[in-house]
Structures are given as C-alpha cells and as structure tokens.
A and B are shown apart, each in its own frame.
Chain A
Amino acid sequence: MTTVARRKTPKTRREASAPRAARRPGRAFSGSPGEPGRIGWLYTLPALLVYGAFLLWPLARGAQFSLYHWDGLGEATWAGFSNYTATWSDPSLRGAFGHLLVLVLFYSVLPCCIAFVLVGAMSRTKIRGLTFFRTVLFLPQVVAMVAVAVAWQWVYSADGPVNTVLGWLHALGLPDWRRGWFGDFTFALPAVGAVGTWVGIGLAMVLFLAGVQKIPRELYEAARIDGAGPVREFFAVTLPGLRRELAVALTLTTIMAIRNFDLIYMATAGGPGNATKVPAYEVYNRTFNTGEVGLGCAIGVTLAVLAFAVTAGVRRLVEGKDA
C-alpha cells in the first residue's frame, strides 16, 4: 500500500487543481485530488474481500443449497424450487410465518404506538431529567438478547412478578389468570411478543424524539392558536412531521422481528408444540435437528428477501411521498 501511495505522489500536485475547475455547483464532491481511479479500488479491496468471502459468498451458497434436498451428510439431490414451495405448503412452516406476522405487531406496531405516547409526553412540556429517561428507556436495546430471554423467564416464572400481581388480583376476586406464560399454548406467542415490545420501545422513541426536534415550533403555535388539544395537535402536527422517522422505526423493528432467533431459542425453543415456531428458528431447527439443510437455506433466503423487501418498500413509500 505504501509503495502505491509513494509512486503517485509526483502527479498529485499537478492534478490537485484540475478537478476544481470541473466542479459543478450543488455536488458534495467531484473526483479526488490527484488520485488515479485504481487507487480507490485498492483502498476498498481488503474490505470487499472479507465482505465477499464471508457474507456475499455464503448468501450465494445458501441460495444454491436451497435448491437441493440434503441431510448435511450424504448425497445432495436436485430439488428445484420444492424447498420454497414447502415453506408455504408445510403447515408448520406456514404457521411459523403466521407467527412472524403476529410478532411484527408486537415488535413493530406496538412499540411505535407506545413511543408516540412517550414522545408526546416528552415534547409538550419541559421535562426535567430528559437524558435520564432517554437513557433508561433505550437500555433494553443494548442488553444481549440471550440475557433478555433469561430475565424474562424470571418475569414470567411461577412466582415471578407477573404471576404475583395476578395472584393479588385473584385474591381481590378476579379470575385466576396465573400461568406459565412461555409454556402456555395460547399465551406463549404474545408472551414472546411482549418481550419484543419491551425491547423496541426505546429505539422507536429515540428516533421520534430526534424527529420532533426538527418540526418547526410555529406549527405547534399555529395549532394551539387554532385551539387544538394534545390529541388534535398530535394528529395534525406531530404525526405528519414524523413520517420519515416512523418509516425508519417500522423498518428496523420489523427486521428485528424477522431476525428473532436468540429469544425463541433461549426462551421457548419454538414450543410448546409449535406455538412459538418462527422462520428464524426454523432455519436452525430444520438444518441441525431434522437434517433438512436445503429447506433451512430456503427459509434463510426467504428471510433475507423479506428483510430487503421491507427496507426497499418502506423507503420507496416515504421517498415517493416526499418527492
């Protein structure tokens, strides 16, 4: 790298002024001072090699594996797209994608709704300790998901806080709602979802908080002069002003729902029965437990396509409206 850098130094000064003449207004940059084009490739090459070999190549290999029936040990036989059709026709896999849809509500929609309430509370009046609240509310984002799973196993445990409170309610005459939440056929999925909501609130809130600060104060003043209360003000000023941030928050939290492996593996292993099976878990389960490597890869590729589609779709939606 150093020899390359030294060799082109003499040319540097002469060319330094050249791109300046060619600079067009409104462009952030135009060419680099005195770097021949190839140098750019040399700087990028090391990153590209690792990225290509350990991310893009496996992705391509995954797409290739997904076209075969293979148990990971013996001969692989050509499967065409049957692994992909299986992701929709196999009832337990279809169920897993159904669960993913439910979890998107919990991971994405619910945190955004709660974050709106929080941001409303933070932006209408002066709040003492704003940094403190922001730090605390964002904290679940930084804790390793495996530790989060362990913490919530305690929250939901037989004598944990949730069942304790429900026990008090029962003592007051309400029905007995106590149960093993992660082990309950009906409630395991919402119980997992609630953990996702808990994690997602902070991210959505931080995004909205930054967005609210960019909304011109005059809009709020105008709304107040028109006699808008907190609710009208929110729908007339805050929500439209946060459209971009809302799109970003929905994208990131939806992708969190799609990538939801750690929590399921640690907390429920897809159970009870198939009640909390999700595609991210099925990638692992089908590959390493039931020896369906091709199917595992097909689910993995489907998840990558879903994540990409969500990102691209939301971006188009937002930019299309802004333009």
Chain B
Amino acid sequence: MNVRAERFVNHAILVLFSVIAVFPMVGVVAQALQLPHADLSTFGTAWREGHFATYLRNSVIVTTVTVVASAVLSIMAGYALGTMRFRGSGALFLLFVAGLTIPTEAIVVPLYFDLRSAGLDNTYAGLILPQVAMSVAFGTFWMRAYFRSVPRSMLEAARIDGASGWTTLWRVLVPIGRPAILTMVLLTTMWTWNEFLLPLVIVNSDEALRTAPLGLSFFQGTHKTDYSLLMAGALIIAAPIVIVYVFLQRQFIAGMLSGAVKE
C-alpha cells in the first residue's frame, strides 16, 4: 500500500469512529431542537417542568464545596506524604491508594443507613461528605506525585528564607503547582457532577435537594415517550462539563493519562 492510500484509509477510519462518537450527542441536540424546525421552546418546557434551575443550583453547590474541600485536604495530605517522611507515612499512602478502587456500590448501602440515623440523609452534608472522601483518595495520590516532583532545593531555599512549612506550601508550592491542581480540580469536578448512585440513595425524599443527574432520572420517569423533552433535559445536565471539556480537553486527557499510568 502506498503512503497516500494508507493516509486516506487512516483518515477514513478516524472520521468513521469520530462520527460514531458524536452521533448520539448530535442526535440528542437535533431531537431537543426538533430540527429541522429549530424550536427552542422544548428547552423552556424541560427547564420549567424538570425544575432544572433548582437541580443545577444544587449540583453547583455540591460540586463547588466538594471540589474546594477535597482539593484543600488533598493538597495538605499530598504535601505531607510527598515531602516528609514520618512514622507510618508509607502505610498511610497505601491506605489512600486502596480507596481508589472502592466502587460507590460497596459503600452506598451502609452510608444510607448510617447517615439516616445521624439525620444526614436529605441534606447537603450527606451529599457532600462522602464525595469529598472519594475525591480525597484520588487527590492525595495525585498531589503526592506532584509534591514528590518538586526539587528538594526549592523547599530548602524557602526554609532558609524563614518560611514555615505551612507558608512554603501555600505561598510557594501551590502557586507553581497550578497545572497539577487544575487537572485534579477538573477531574473531581467531572466525577462529582456526574455522580448518580449516591444522590439517588441519599436524597430519597427531599425533591428540592436533587442534583442534576438525579433530576434527569425523575424527569425521564414522567416523560418516557416525549423524546424531545427528555433530550433537552439530558443536554441541560451534560452541557456544563462538556463545555469545560471542550475548552480544557488537554488538561482532562493529561489528567486521565498520568492519573492512570503513574505508579
């Protein structure tokens, strides 16, 4: 096969699979807009009837608090495990790594019963704290790798200039570690926003606390056959992450790569 023919075949394969990858999503958009009539009213109807304003607001609150809290905790833990050696640090790290594989399915039932007896079901705290716990496992693993890569001399220089460990962390290491932190924030944002099983179980009676994916599942229950409404709902809940991804795809992919391959 000559080079030109092969190049053509290669492009054809890539185009074919790209079409397969976006086709369901393009179809969703077309259905929601009721193309070729291009009618935006479906979105309005879905937005109102699905209470998506409330559900998106809940998702924004839960995701923001989860991501900020887990980032701060992960940065601190990663700093300790990445730059200090102390009794039990190795075991501690393994403990966090073990959490990376634990599926939500394994913890969601006991979480439901224990949070309920603590009065935390149907609350923001009940939604947020378990998600922080899941994100912290990855975040600590991720930030430890970053802090290990920081040149030792930089820590020592900060020390000699009189900075405490705490100041060194937040004034020196965090600012220069922005790319690593951004990647972690993007991934935990995506995972928290898309989480479904946990809200389904924890928010079992308070409709006003439903997150966006949960809202979509209830919306589906009432609009099983009205495809254009259902598609508009699916678009509304998927769009925020997809938009962020399109602009920052490099960081997303880099994160998935190094998160998966390192160590």
Q: Which positions in A face B, CB cutoff 8 Å?
A: 1-2, 5-6, 8-9, 12-13, 16, 20, 28-35, 37-44, 46-48, 50-51, 53-59, 61-62, 64-65, 72, 114, 117-118, 120-122, 124-128, 131, 133-148, 150-155, 157, 160-161, 198, 201-203, 206-207, 210, 229-230, 244-245, 248, 252, 255, 258-259, 261-262, 265-266, 279-280, 283-284, 287-288, 293, 296-297, 299-301, 303-304, 307-308, 311
State A170–B9 Cα separation when bound (angstroms): 29
Please determine whether B137 and A55 come into contact, CB atoms closer than 8 angstroms. yes
- Which residues of B in the span 98-118 have a Cβ within 8 Å of any Cβ on A? 98-114
Closest residue on chain A to residue B96 by CB atoms: A51
Q: For the complex, is B81 an interface residue (Cβ under 8 Å from A)? A: yes
Please tell me the number of chain B residues within 8 Å of chain A, measured between CB atoms. Answer: 107
Please determine whether A259 and B105 come into contact, CB atoms closer than 8 angstroms. yes
Please determine whether B109 and A62 come into contact, CB atoms closer than 8 angstroms. yes
Q: Which positions in B face A, CB cutoff 8 Å?
A: 1, 3, 6-7, 9-11, 13-14, 17-18, 20-25, 27-28, 31, 69, 73-74, 76-77, 79-89, 92, 95-96, 98-114, 129-130, 132-134, 136-137, 139-140, 148, 152, 155-156, 159-160, 162, 164-167, 190, 193-194, 196-197, 200-201, 212-213, 216-217, 220, 227, 230-231, 233-235, 237-238, 241-242, 245-246, 249, 252-253, 256-257, 260-261
Q: List 18 extra interface pairs beyond A37-B87, A41-B88, CB under 8 A.
A: A5-B165, A30-B85, A33-B156, A38-B86, A39-B80, A39-B86, A44-B81, A58-B111, A65-B109, A118-B14, A142-B241, A142-B245, A146-B237, A155-B27, A206-B253, A284-B197, A293-B113, A311-B101
Please determine whether B155 and A33 come into contact, CB atoms closer than 8 angstroms. yes
Shortest Cβ distance from residue A246 to the other chain B in the assembled complex, whole angstroms: 12
A-B contacts, CB under 8 A, total: 337
Contacts of A41 in B (CB 8 A): 80, 86, 88
Contacts of B85 in A (CB 8 A): 29-32, 37, 40
